[in-house]
Amino acid sequence: MSTWTVPGYTESLELGAGASGRVVLAIHEVTGVPVAVKYLSESLHTRPGFVHDFRAEARLLGGLDSPYVAGLYEYVESPDGAAIVMELVDGLSLRAVLAGQGPLDPEAALVILKGSLLGLADAHRAGVVHRDYKPENVLVTPDGASKLVDFGIAVDTRTRAGVAGTPSYMAPEQWRGEPASPATDVYAATATFFECLTGRKPYAGDNIAELALRHVDAPVPVEDVPEAVRSLVRRGLAKEAAGRPGDAEAFVAELEAVAGTAYGPGWEERGRGRLAALVALFPLLLPSARTPGRSATDTARTVLRQPPGRGRAQAWKPTGPGMLAAAAAVLLAVLLAHAAPPDSGGAQERAAEAFATTSARPEVTSGPTAPSPSASPTAGTPGASASGPASASPGGPSATATGPGPDPGTGPGTDPGADPGTEPGTGTPAGAPTPTGTPSATPTDTSPAAPAVKDVTVSEFRQTGPTTATTTVTVVTDGTGPVSIDLRWSVGDTAGGPGTPDGAGQVFRRSGATEYTVTAEHVFQNLGCYWTVTATTAPASADGGASQQLLTRRCDLR
């Protein structure tokens, strides 16, 4: 286990650990805000591919701004380690709820599906495919709401990534090694919905090959779900992506129409009430009930065993495409199992885990500890709906919601060249002495000398509203001493021109790493066809900084 810790935080409790790293509860020293810190394991930190995937997870989280998605405070990387800092919130994983109570009534299941689908919809609009929707990654809050967490193997829709996911929820195209799409997430969400309604997964198998065959070829078992929602299950589990709703937003529209017709206008309120009552049955499993003397070690694991009673599926015979998918599944499981670090599990379980996602994730959701939903950890108050730890689910170990990064068994994941990001925030106004009210790393009296800034890059600058824009800036240094990142904004009507300064600048102060990525939002106060952001640092970089300009929508007539 790595001994490196994120500067500016005091750790108080380890919440989970596994082959890919650990998750700890920590306190931000400046504000006293509790957070969850997800560390990449020391062994994986020496392997560039896993570090790139960990960065990519942070970048994807930083680009999402949704009340239905667990968010991120900051990503910190140094020669000694890498960590993602997230908000600590209250809640239970859906896996914990199902383990404690069994199947849910349709209204409660629909509420869970809708809330997490809204999170998927925001991700899909941002061009992100989750690829690992499952009960472990859906959180239920004390008020009965649901949220989506863990983007450990998420990818940009423009990226062609390898096979990854959790076998029981993988769409046929994932088994065939085809690119994932929003419809892939719709399939996994429907498989989870099926499990909420029936208490079991839609397909079972004695091994990876058999499970692959069933997902690719076996009929959708709609007879096992209530008749009122069979159309949702049939559509969501369609074998071809073209037969499913195109994305989560379209699926939500179908869900609301079906639920309203079948259960009347009060279905959502009743469903949330039932979920809140279920969460109230397990108060000691909430993060708010945890004490330093209690901890859990959870591992995301898929162990394929034959359940009692094979039911209708026993007479099913695979087709040619299904046999090919099964052969590919076996080959990939073997290759990925050999690529994973050694552990104490048996070879059969490691082969099954080859498709599983990050391990040792605490079960989390947003809760009453979350401050303002509009600000970020890099400056201002903490952002909305992020992930935090909880305890193991009743009935045995289960995957938790914010794991320590990519599991060696997941296979190829996100773009290796992706840069990390942070939750968009307001930053510290230029001239202010220090950031306040935010869990961000701060230098101490023992901080090393200021480093030389090697590179400043504005990797993204885009308009997000009529008067708002967001930018992502990456700074690379040759040491871990303190550095300040100064963002300035301007508007104008001439391309390439300097423009007129707009509003106060923002300053982000960092230390303890050699690479920092900050994402900031700005509300423009003046009119102009062109918006410009300029990033400089102290100490100054050799090239003087970086800037980027964009043509606003009000002036772009294309």
Whether residues 124 and 236 fall in one domain = yes
Higher pLDDT, 249 or 73: 249
Give the whole-angstrom CA distance, residue 526 versus residue 271: 46
Whether residues 101 and 208 fall in one domain = yes
Q: What mean pLDDT comes out for the span 327-351?
A: 44
**The domain that contains 104 carries what CATH number?**
1.10.510.10
Structural domain for 174, as ranges: 87-410
Q: What mean pLDDT comes out for the span 38-61?
A: 84
Instruction: Give the pLDDT score at 427.
Output: 44
Closest CA to 23 of 358, 279, 514: 358
Higher pLDDT, 226 or 424: 226
Instruction: Give the pLDDT score at 49.
Output: 80
For residue 43, pLDDT over 50 is answered with: yes
Domain boundary among 395, 410, 425: 410
Active site residues: 132
- Dump pLDDT digits (tens) for 288-318: 666 443 333 332 222 223 333 333 333 445 5
Closest CA to 544 of 453, 429, 470: 453
Instruction: Give the pLDDT score at 290.
Output: 63
- Dump pLDDT digits (tens) for 112-145: 999 989 999 999 998 889 988 999 889 898 999 8
Query: Is 57 part of any domain?
Result: no
Alpha helices in 367-476 (DSSP H): none
User: Cα 86 vs. chain centroid, distance in angstroms?
Assistant: 10
Whether residues 229 and 348 fall in one domain = yes
Question: With bands split at pLDDT 50, 70 and 90, how would you rate the model's confidence at 187?
Answer: very high
Whether residues 175 and 306 fall in one domain = yes
Q: Write out the DSSP string of 279-318.
A: HHT-GGGSGGG--TT------------PPS--GGGGG---
Closest CA to 424 of 394, 369, 396, 382: 382
Whether residues 375 and 515 fall in one domain = no
Query: Is 255 part of any domain?
Result: yes
Q: What mean pLDDT comes out for the span 415-433?
A: 37
Q: What mean pLDDT comes out for the span 529-550?
A: 89
Give the whole-angstrom CA distance, residue 394 versus residue 256: 31
Give the whole-angstrom CA distance, residue 146 versus residue 139: 5
Question: With bands split at pLDDT 50, 70 and 90, how would you rate the model's confidence at 46?
Answer: confident
Q: What mean pLDDT comes out for the span 357-364?
A: 30
Tokens 């359940």 belong to residue: 307
Instruction: Give the pLDDT score at 239.
Output: 94
Amino acid occupying residue 426: T
Higher pLDDT, 16 or 204: 204
Domain count, the chain: 2
Closest CA to 192 of 120, 230, 136: 136
For residue 434, pLDDT over 60 is answered with: no
Q: What percent of the chain has pLDDT over 90?
A: 26
Predicted structure pTM score: 0.55
Domain boundary among 386, 410, 434: 410
Helices and strands counted in the chain (H then E): 12, 21
Range from 19-33, 183-197, 207-221, 409-423 carrying the lowest mean pLDDT: 409-423
Whether residues 367 and 489 fall in one domain = no
Instruction: Give the pLDDT score at 503.
Output: 86
- Dump pLDDT digits (tens) for 446-497: 446 889 998 899 988 888 878 888 898 999 988 888 999 999 999 988 887 7
Whether residues 206 and 351 fall in one domain = yes
For residue 189, pLDDT over 90 is answered with: yes
For residue 212, pLDDT over 70 is answered with: yes
Range from 15-29, 216-230, 254-268, 396-410 carrying the lowest mean pLDDT: 396-410
Q: What mean pLDDT comes out for the span 83-103?
A: 85
Per-residue burial over 74-102, b = 16 or more CB atoms within 10 Å of its CB, e = otherwise? bbbbbeebbbbbbbbbbbbbbbbbbbbbe
Query: Is 241 part of any domain?
Result: yes
Query: Is 140 part of any domain?
Result: yes
Instruction: Give the pLDDT score at 277.
Output: 93
- Dump pLDDT digits (tens) for 253-290: 999 999 999 999 899 999 999 999 999 988 877 766 66
Whether residues 232 and 359 fall in one domain = yes
Question: With bands split at pLDDT 50, 70 and 90, how would you rate the model's confidence at 332?
Answer: low
Instruction: Give the pLDDT score at 120.
Output: 92
The mean pLDDT of the chain is 73
Query: Is 337 part of any domain?
Result: yes
Question: With bands split at pLDDT 50, 70 and 90, how would you rate the model's confidence at 389?
Answer: very low
Instruction: Give the pLDDT score at 60.
Output: 80
Query: Is 34 part of any domain?
Result: no
Whether residues 390 and 452 fall in one domain = no
Give the whole-angstrom CA distance, residue 84 versus residue 522: 24
Give the whole-angstrom CA distance, residue 221 versus residue 202: 7
Instruction: Give the pLDDT score at 330.
Output: 53
**Burial of 49 from C-beta contacts in 10 A (0-12 / 13-18 / 19+):** middle
Higher pLDDT, 341 or 6: 6
Whether residues 126 and 238 fall in one domain = yes
Whether residues 467 and 375 fall in one domain = no
Out of 223-227, 306-310, 375-379, 497-501, the most confident range is: 223-227
Instruction: Give the pLDDT score at 205.
Output: 84
Question: With bands split at pLDDT 50, 70 and 90, how would you rate the model's confidence at 162?
Answer: low
Higher pLDDT, 48 or 358: 48
Distance set, CA 277 to CA 6, 138, 271 (Å): 37, 17, 10
Per-residue burial over 118-143, b = 16 or more CB atoms within 10 Å of its CB, e = otherwise? bbbbbbbeeebbbbbbbbbbbbbbbb
Instruction: Give the pLDDT score at 135.
Output: 92
For residue 534, pLDDT over 90 is answered with: yes
Give the whole-angstrom CA distance, residue 20 versus residue 2: 11
Instruction: Give the pLDDT score at 264.
Output: 92
Query: Is 74 part of any domain?
Result: no
Whether residues 458 and 406 fall in one domain = no
Give the whole-angstrom CA distance, residue 25 versus residue 14: 6
Residue 457 contacts residue 546 (beta carbons within 8 Å): yes
**The domain that contains 502 carries what CATH number?**
2.60.40.1930
Query: Is 93 part of any domain?
Result: yes
Higher pLDDT, 48 or 457: 457
For residue 522, pLDDT over 50 is answered with: yes
